[in-house]
Chains A and B, each alone.
Chain A
Amino acid sequence: MDFLNALVVLSNFVLIPAVAYGSQLALGALGVTLIYGILRFSNFAHGDTMAFGTMVVVLVTYLFQSWGLSLGPLPTALLALPFGILGCMVLVLVTDRAVYRFYRQQKAKPVILVIVSMGVMFIMNGLVRFIIGPNDQRFADGERFIISVREFKQMTGLSEGLAIRTTQGITVVTAIIVVALLFWFLNKTRTGKSMRAYSDNEDLALLSGINPERVVLYTWLIVAALATVAGTLYGLDKTFKPFTYFQLLLPIFAAAIVGGLGNPLGAIAGGFVIAFSEVTITYAWKKVLKYLLPENLEPSSLVQLLSTDYKFAVSFAILVVVLLFKPTGLFKGKSV
């Protein structure tokens, strides 16, 4: 019984939140990694691209809510998601036409593109705040819980409760579907194959007749979709606030680099590595240990390695360690 209780506490406070957070990071990191692999630069504007897509979703959700449209127990935002993706696609394509294409034609060095993307980041950042404001937006509706703490306790009779929020469930399911679609696209379709070819060796790909502008176009479309989905899931699960999306950039980059930049599988693994490290290192283990250890060994302190304020420091530390000792990342990406 004690063991089960410990497991339930661990799931409630560590496993479930980390899996949901990890999925969100993985989707974000996939976008970063695709751009790095195919367009060959680190896109610092990714967090704000996510914010923009999510903002469109939020606005459309509000519109649907005012019309009385809903998905029953599921959040209305899922219905608004395609519109957000479209809005985000328009944004990134316009940005590409107006900004990135120029530097691509100049064959600018990646480091210049990085700085350019930083400028784009600030503009998008301002745009989002200008349109929707800097405040919290709560747009989650529908059923809040798949299992609430009270129901779980009644069902199992355990003294500890477990809650799974609808948004956490949706996050994981959506992430799995999106990742499956992405891999199918990259591995099975002609366009996907040409994108990988372009990523592996640009000159060879051009020689074999691949149209580079088409590859770039598809990359941006996919990245916009990924960013919007990731942003919307994060916003549903937590809350939408432009500034937090800007802050998300660090864990997302950490995830992409830990996994190996340019490697989609690595991005997913990296997302979960970062999420689990952040959550487990800042979690206070006292309650779990209390159930597992014999009474006389019970810890009197909280058994917390780092205060929760240092959450971002964890991704930073991992980033530095990986860059120092394995610059290509866990999954053999390109070296940074």
Chain B
Amino acid sequence: MKKFLMASAATALMAGGAMADDHAVKLGIILGFTGPIESLTPAMAGGAELAMSEVSESGKLLGGKTVMPVRADSTCIDSGAATAAAERLVTSDGVKGIMGADCSGVTGAILSNVALANGTVMISPSATSPALSAAEDNGLFFRTAPSDARQGQVLADVLMEKGISEVAVTYTNNDYGKGLADSFAAAYAAAGGTVTTTTAHEDGKADYSAEVGALASAGGDALVVAGYVDQGGPGVIRAALDTGAFDTFVLPDGMIGPNLETTFGDEIEGSIGTAPGSDAADASMVVEKVAATGVDASGPYVGESYDAAALIMLAMQAAGSVEPGDYKSKVEMVANAPGEKIYPGELAKGLEILAAGGDIDYVGATAVELIGPGEAAGGYREIEVQGGKLETVKYR
């Protein structure tokens, strides 16, 4: 029996050694491939995988390691399913870092249940709830998307500049919607605007005419829909258009997507929106390459996903180790000044400088600058619906 135990212990050790020697580093990509933002996620995953293949092809990561993406489904809304999927990534697939998750609620759940417990670094490209800034993370959690506290402020500024001083707000009843609605209401009131009413809407209902009835009764110049483009959001807009309650809509990032154009076209002419983006950096190279693989890359967060994956790999290089415990402290170092500026497509150059002991300031596709508790400082595109298309009119 003793021999047998020894033998199994030896085998286990050897298996462990074999794993560590393996040349492929696995990185998890956990996004809502099904669920309310399923039309956005294929391009986001494409962005992250683009960064990984770029690094693999360069052959410069820690002496020629390749990076292998492993996808998992966060469902965006089901914390239980997301936690199970992330658990699988970490314990069974043995990923060394997680690019994700996408929606704020599931991101918080994975962070507290999986990432903290296993000491895995996660960098979310799109979780924007202000509540995540204060979440306990042991320095393991970062995001390349800014907190919605910032988006609320930007939205309020845009509206005041357009002279829209009275709006009704409806939000999808979850962490993302509530956080955004609260931060917007606070910023808007501070800027002198009036929120006539704030009501939640549940996703997945057949009909939103009752909700819109209440919003219409409260009135306002425009309706802020802090929802999801593949879920209740379009239903709310449709009901508002049908009953003539509102014809101008204010659409935060979750509502900006190609489906919006195809569903409504010029029916929502003049509506305004915001989505993360910056003119200090150019995500077009990432977006074009992702689009070339055949997925629709016109949605937001493609560049953020590329950057999130790139940051993990650059931090690994800086630490000289693929273990999350070693490289977690390097993420902010590679993302921020001082150092050589690294733009999208230049990951090989970044890896080289780091290998030589130099310092880099990763700019990437979205001008990444991590502040406070490891989140992006946040530039936004101001979007207007012109001729049935989502057009970027300004950067903020």
Contacts and interface: CB of A to CB of B under 8 A. Distances in A.
A303 B214 CA distance: 9
Interface string B200-216: 10101111011101101
Main SS of the interface on chain A?
helix
A165 B242 contact: yes
Contacts, number: 74
Interface in A247-297: 278-279, 282-288
Contacts of A239: 206-207, 235
B217 to A, nearest CB: 4
A311 interface: yes
A201 interface: no
Contacts of A13: 209, 213, 216-217, 243
Interface residues of A, number: 37
Interface of A: 12-14, 17, 144-145, 148-150, 153, 161-163, 165, 234, 237-239, 241, 243-244, 278-279, 282-288, 302-304, 307-309, 311
A283 B219 CA distance: 14
Interface in B204-243: 204-207, 209-211, 213-214, 216-219, 235, 242-243
Contact of B244 (A150, A234, A278, A287): A150
B329 interface: no
Interface residues of B, number: 21
B205 A244 contact: yes
Contacts of A165: 242
Contacts of A161: 243-244
Interface in B28-78: none
Contacts of A284: 197, 213-214, 217-218
Interface centre among A149, A163, A284 (most CB of B within 10 A): A284
Contact of B218 (A14, A241, A244, A302): A302
A276 to B, nearest CB: 13
Interface in B298-340: none
Contacts of B235: 239
Contacts of B392: none
A302 B214 contact: yes
Contacts of A287: 216-217, 219
B244 A304 contact: no
Nearest to A245: B206
